[in-house]
Each structure stands twice: as structure tokens, then as C-alpha cells.
Amino acid sequence: MTQTLSNKTALITGGTSGIGYAAAEAMLAEGARVIITGQNGDRVREAAARLGANVIGLVAPSQDASALTRLADDVRARFGGLDILFANAGVTWPAPLGQIDADQAAQQLAINVTGPLLTVQALRPVLNTGASVFFTTSNLDRLGMPGMAVYSASKAALRSVARTLAAELKDAGIRVNTIAPGPVETPIYSKLGMSEAELNEMASGVVANVPLGRFGKPEEIAGAAVFLASDASSFMLGEEITIDGGWSTL
Ligand SMILES: NC(=O)c1ccc[n+]([C@@H]2O[C@H](COP(=O)([O-])OP(=O)(O)OC[C@H]3O[C@@H](n4cnc5c(N)ncnc54)[C@H](OP(=O)(O)O)[C@@H]3O)[C@@H](O)[C@H]2O)c1
């Protein structure tokens, strides 16, 4: 069977779990060489080992400009350049009005907006002509959900960043797009500091909004990542693929 990403080198930020990990598995299956990053050394090493031989894991907190420069140097030294950059790393820290902490809001924006932007800036010199760059936004970049003001604003800002970078990079033959998932079963929810009962209540509230009546699975996002990574998406520019079980459409 033909592999759509043969001879391509991909870098996936936030590739240690969830959507990034599933995208790494899917790109490997399509013949790519894959680099995953994360912020935690143990998790990066463990995920890279689990993904197998065609993967390397590098630690690079996405809001740390000097770590990103080192990442670009490493990519150049090992692979020469990148064909695919999936800037996917992000956090979700809900807080309703009255509970928004200024430092935490600034940190969430730094990780979810400035981080991916700095990632593309640092890696721009190693992006090959014809490279595909894409971000993970969220369907909340256009929906109003209580408690999600900072997170949703971060994803709306990232959606905007993608449009600007698409315009800036198109003449260099580099395409920029985004994937906007709805709720997807990943470890992101276990990082919210909620009890199991609170998590279950939140999950039921979320599912009530989804016409397909369930959370998505990371593999159901990974297919879109392979599509954007491949030449099959060659006429897509500055666009967003929404995968949210119909939430923002029906
Ligand atoms: N799950 C959903 O329902 C959903 C919906 C819409 C959008 N998204 C977006 O999808 C993306 C992936 O999330 P996920 O659900 O797959 O969650 P996840 O399993 O928690 O994965 C998040 C990944 O991002 C990495 N990461 C977090 N902060 C980082 C930082 N400062 N620097 C570098 N890496 C960092 C984590 O690495 P470590 O292991 O090292 O911490 C991990 O690999 C995020 O941008 C999220 O906002 C998720």
C-alpha cells in the first residue's frame, strides 16, 4: 500500500499523549520520520520509546524561546529540515469569572498562543519548501462555553495567528492551517485538578452539546493531521478543519 508521508520528516509538539501521540502513530504508519516534543523529560522518553524506532523525543517547553532555538539546531543537525510541523502542545485551565487568576491566565496564553507562534518562528529556518504547518485550536475558538474565557480566547487567537502565518509563508511554499477538535478523550481532563465526580458531571454536560453524543477519540483527530501533513491537502491555506461530532454545526 502507498504511504502518503514516505520520506517526510514531521515534528509534533505535545506528542507525549492524547492528540499529539495519536498523530505521531498515524504519521509513522504513513511512513514519516517523527520527532515528538513535550515539556517533561520522562514523559517524552517514555512516549518516544513506545512509538518505536522511527521516532525521537526532545524536551522543549513551547513557551521557552531558547529551548525552541536548541530544538531547531537539533532538527537541522539530525534531519536537515522539516516537511511537517504540527504545533499541537497546549493546556486547558478552566476558570469562571470571579476565579480568573492573572498569572495563570497569562501562562495559559503563553503556552497556547505565544508558544506555538514562537515554535513556528524558531523552526522557520528548518522548514523545507512545500512544508505543511498546522496548529491544534478548538471548536471553542468560536463557541461560548461557561468557564472557558481564557482558554477559548487563546484558541481564537491561535486561529488568527494561523491566518497571518499562512499569508506570511505562502510565498515560501509553506501552508499553514488548523485543526479544531471538540471534546476528545485525552489526559488533558485528568490535569484539571477535579475529582472523579466533578469530571463525570463536566463530561455529561459537554456530551449533551455533541450531536454524536460522545467524546471523540484521539485517532479521530489524527486522520485530519495526516491529511494536512500530506500533499492531499495541497489547496488548503489558512483554513480550519473542525472535528467536533457536529457540536458547532448542527
Ligand atoms: N482533548 C480535548 O478535548 C481537546 C479539544 C480541543 C483542543 N484540544 C487541544 O489539543 C491539544 C492537545 O491536547 P490533548 O487533549 O491531546 O492533551 P494532552 O494529552 O494533555 O497532551 C498535551 C500535550 O502537550 C504537551 N504540553 C503541555 N504543555 C506544554 C508546554 N508548555 N510545552 C511543551 N509541551 C507541552 C504535553 O506534554 P507533557 O507530557 O510533557 O506535559 C502533552 O504532550 C492542546 O492544544 C489542546 O488544547 C484538546
| Nearest CA, atom 47, ligand 1 | 90
- Determine the residue type at 216: G
- Which atom of ligand 1 is nearest to 89's Cα? 24
Q: Which of 66, 86, 186 to mutate to test the pocket of ligand 1 (most atoms within 8 A of CB)?
A: 186
DSSP of 16-53, one letter per residue? SSHHHHHHHHHHHHTT-EEEEEES-HHHHHHHHHHH-T
* pLDDT the model gives residue 231: 96
- Determine the residue type at 72: A
Provide block-wise average pLDDT over 10 residues at a time, the chain (250 residues): 90 98 98 98 98 96 95 97 98 96 98 98 98 98 97 98 98 98 94 89 94 98 98 98 98
* pLDDT the model gives residue 1: 62
* pLDDT the model gives residue 193: 85
Please name the residues in contact with 214: beta carbons below 8 A apart, sequence gap of 6 or more: 207, 245
Q: Which of 114, 136, 191, 212 to mutate to test the pocket of ligand 1 (most atoms within 8 A of CB)?
A: 136
Q: Does the annotation mark 151 as catalytic?
A: yes
Q: What is the DSSP secondary structure assignment for residue 113, as one 8-state letter?
A: I
Please name the residues in contact with 231: beta carbons below 8 A apart, sequence gap of 6 or more: 4
Q: What is the pTM of this model?
A: 0.98
What is the rounded distance in angstroms from the CA atom of residue 67 to the CA atom of residue 59? 8
* pLDDT the model gives residue 194: 87
| Nearest CA, atom 1, ligand 1 | 184
Q: Which CATH number fits domain 9-242: 3.40.50.720, 3.20.10.10, 2.60.40.10, 3.40.190.10?
A: 3.40.50.720
Compute the distance from residue 30 Cα to the ligand 1 centre, in Å: 23
Q: Decide: 108 and 150 in contact? Cβ < 8 Å.
A: yes
- Which atom of ligand 1 is nearest to 90's Cα? 45
Residues with CB under 6 A from ligand 1: 13-20, 38-40, 43, 61-63, 88-92, 111, 115, 136, 138, 181, 183-184, 186-188, 191
Q: Please, what sign has the CA dihedral across residues 218, 215, 146, 162?
A: positive
